[in-house]
Amino acid sequence: MRQTLFSLRYLFALGWRLDRRRLLAGAGMLLLAALATPAVAVSLGRLVDGVAAGHSAAAVRWAVLAAVALGVELTLDNFAHIYYFELSEITDEHLNRDLIRLVNGTSRLDRRDDPAFADRIDLLRQDVLQMRMTVQSGLQLGAIAAQVLFTTVLLITLSPVLLILPLVALAPVFLGRRAEQFMQVARERQSPTTRSIRHLRLLTTNPASHKEIQISGSAGHFVARQDGLLNTYNSAMRRAQARHASLVAVGQVLFALAYVGSVLWVYGMARRGEASIGDVVLVVSLATQVGAQMASGLDLLGVVHRSAAGLRRFLALRDETEAAAATVPDAPAPMTVGGGLRLESIGFTYPGAAAETLHDIDLELPAGHSVALVGENGAGKSTLIALLLGLYAPTRGRLLVDGIDLSGVSPQQWRTGVAALFQDFAKVELSLQHSVGIGHLPEVESREAVLGAVGRAGAGPLADRIGGPDALLGRAYGDGPDLSGGQWQRIGFARTLMRRRPLLLALDEPASALDAMAEQRLVDAYQAMAKEVAVAVGGVTLFVTHRLSTVRLADLIVVLEGGRIVERGTHGELMTLGGQYAQLYAGQARAYAD
Ligand SMILES: Nc1ncnc2c1ncn2[C@@H]1O[C@H](COP(=O)(O)OP(=O)(O)OP(=O)(O)O)[C@@H](O)[C@H]1O
């Protein structure tokens, strides 16, 4: 109960902060409408008494009052809805903004890779929808409480015994709350299943998957998988629903008994001459109203209770994010690399993973060097790059820049000094200007900077063809051209090149979608950039590729296997060594010669 009250207080305070005019108008109208409902019952009772006693004037007066009360109830309820609906919209926007901030609030990716964290976020997205309803439900609940209070006073005035009616009406409320807890626990337990269902829905309705699903004819397979998950979800929720319904039914049966008892009691009073026929009508009307009030109060309390659980999760995430932000190191990042980067006994385990991905990495990356990372799929190349970029913190060992341990340096600041093109680069569907420009926000509006980066990335002819920097890319915002995979990769490369002086430039499989000519241009651009940053800031450049012909010129080649470094050296040294690199290189060279 404390949590529910806290949730109401919190969300009302939020509503007050966001738009007090709408909050007050909605609450005032709802309250008046709520008091008008028992007033209708009183007027009807007195109307019947007037008719029974043959007092036409009194009967007409009460009939008019009943009509006015009914009119007030219906009209104000309707207008109040407009106010609290708009307030809910504003609250929803506010909470969603907060959620985006919280999800992206940590400085590293660790949390976002954790499946348990993904479940929490999934649940929170639904929670926000619930919380938006809380302001509205809380107002309605308040109005119902006032209504019940007014009704109770009217009943007690007739006979204190009738207090039984509102008292027993509390039974469905308390049992309903208990029942809601079952549902809440079931929902939380099922969140991995709902996440999987959502993933499947996204996968099967995403245009990128259509071709593969068509070719493989796997639509039926996905539907069957989804059905399986839905069955699991539905049967768990059905069980919880059955317990929920049984508890609620017990409460409702108790109330039905109290209802019948109250009507019989006032009927007895009327027979003894202690009450009028109008009083019987009044009690029947009030008892019916109490039933309806309790039923809607129960529903509303369910909403408020669910949102209280949601708010608890929301605030827990906020506290964690703030605590994490408070422990984020804030030492300034170096502006240049004098000596180089050094990895000392680095180990790394992904959040939620059972085993370590990188083991005992000891590596020296001298300033100004170009380094190629080579290894089979899953060897750990992208993971190593993510660590160097400060996207993850090593779980063991130290990462030093000119002797400064990066664990003490602000990751955000370090990342402003690096540039990267990821294997799964983003297809940023904005104008070409912004799609490229966001690579270096201070110059996002600069034509010169964007066109320069586009030119260096070898995407000049592409930019001309699609209509220059203002041309929209993709179809998210307009009718822009749908680019090929290689063309998107070139745009991504241009975005990377927006940063002219990175201390670390990392390209992870940057040519995977490029044709041979474009790949050669990319390698040329990379080498030019590597030389430029080496001279300007001592920047280290990293290149990951499976095409070994492009790594020959690297100053250092590092071969990874199973998360460990197995070989390192120049192309010549590794060929002389005759190890894994030499075999791979010879194998690829043979394949090309054939
Ligand atoms: N977010 C993640 N959570 C858990 N494990 C991960 C995650 N990302 C990668 N891994 C695991 O880490 C290992 C190394 O992956 P990584 O992407 O670094 O390899 P890679 O050498 O870049 O491979 P590829 O050549 O295929 O790109 C793999 O076994 C992979 O399954």
Tokens in use for 177? Answer: 């709350």
Distance, in Å, from the CA atom of 411 to the CA atom of 396, rounded to the nearest integer, reads 17
In the reported structure, the alpha carbon of residue 108 is separated from the centroid of ligand 1 by a whole-number distance in angstroms of: 17
Taking only the tens place, the pLDDT of each residue in 182-232 is 888 888 888 888 888 888 888 888 776 776 787 777 888 888 999 999 999
- CB of 379 shorter than 6 A to ligand 1: yes
Residue 587 confidence class, pLDDT cut points 50, 70, 90: confident
In the reported structure, the alpha carbon of residue 459 is separated from the centroid of ligand 1 by a whole-number distance in angstroms of: 30
- CB of 373 shorter than 6 A to ligand 1: no
For 55-69, 203-217, 333-347, 570-584, which range has the lowest pLDDT when averaged over its residues? 203-217
Helix (H) or strand (E) holding 541: strand 540-544
Is the distance from CB of 83 to CB of 21 less than 8 angstroms? no
- CB of 423 shorter than 6 A to ligand 1: yes
pLDDT at 568 over 90: yes
What atom in ligand 1 is closest to the CA of residue 546? 25
Is the distance from CB of 439 to CB of 486 less than 8 angstroms? no
Mean pLDDT score of the chain: 86
- CB of 194 shorter than 6 A to ligand 1: no
Distance, in Å, from the CA atom of 318 to the CA atom of 476, rounded to the nearest integer, reads 31
What atom in ligand 1 is closest to the CA of residue 560? 21
Mean pLDDT of 113-132: 78
- CB of 352 shorter than 6 A to ligand 1: no
- CB of 572 shorter than 6 A to ligand 1: no
pLDDT at 484 over 70: yes
Distance, in Å, from the CA atom of 117 to the CA atom of 124, rounded to the nearest integer, reads 10
pLDDT of residue 395: 93
User: Burial letters for 216-232: b for 16+ Cβ neighbours within 10 Å, e otherwise?
Assistant: eeeeeebeebbeebeee
pLDDT at 477 over 70: no
Taking only the tens place, the pLDDT of each residue in 289-308 is 887 887 788 778 878 887 88
In the reported structure, the alpha carbon of residue 537 is separated from the centroid of ligand 1 by a whole-number distance in angstroms of: 30
| Close Cβ partners of 330 (under 8 Å, ≥ 6 residues apart) | 410
Percent of the chain topping pLDDT 90: 31
H helical segments located in 104-169: 115-158, 164-168
pLDDT of residue 594: 64
pLDDT of residue 47: 92
Tokens in use for 259? Answer: 């209802």
- CB of 113 shorter than 6 A to ligand 1: yes
Query: Look-up: residue for tokens 């245009």?
Result: 207
Which of helix, strand or coil describes residue 136? helix
ipTM over 0.90: yes
- Ligand 1, atom 26, lies closest to the CA of 377
Distance, in Å, from the CA atom of 203 to the CA atom of 209, rounded to the nearest integer, reads 6
pLDDT at 361 over 90: yes
pLDDT of residue 563: 95
Pocket probe for ligand 1: among 383, 508, 559, 580, the residue whose CB has the most ligand atoms within 8 Å is 383
pLDDT at 145 over 70: yes
Query: Look-up: residue for tokens 């790394």?
Result: 348
For 140-149, 466-475, 476-485, which range has the lowest pLDDT when averaged over its residues? 476-485
Residue from 516, 509, 351 nearest 420 by CA: 509
Angle at 290 between CA 139 and CA 34, to 5 degrees: 35
Residue 83 confidence class, pLDDT cut points 50, 70, 90: confident
pLDDT at 110 over 70: no
In the reported structure, the alpha carbon of residue 425 is separated from the centroid of ligand 1 by a whole-number distance in angstroms of: 15
β-pair partners for 261:
none
Is the distance from CB of 490 to CB of 460 less than 8 angstroms? no
Taking only the tens place, the pLDDT of each residue in 513-531 is 777 777 777 778 778 888 8
pLDDT of residue 69: 92
Tokens in use for 514? Answer: 């490029």
pTM: 0.67
pLDDT at 315 over 70: yes
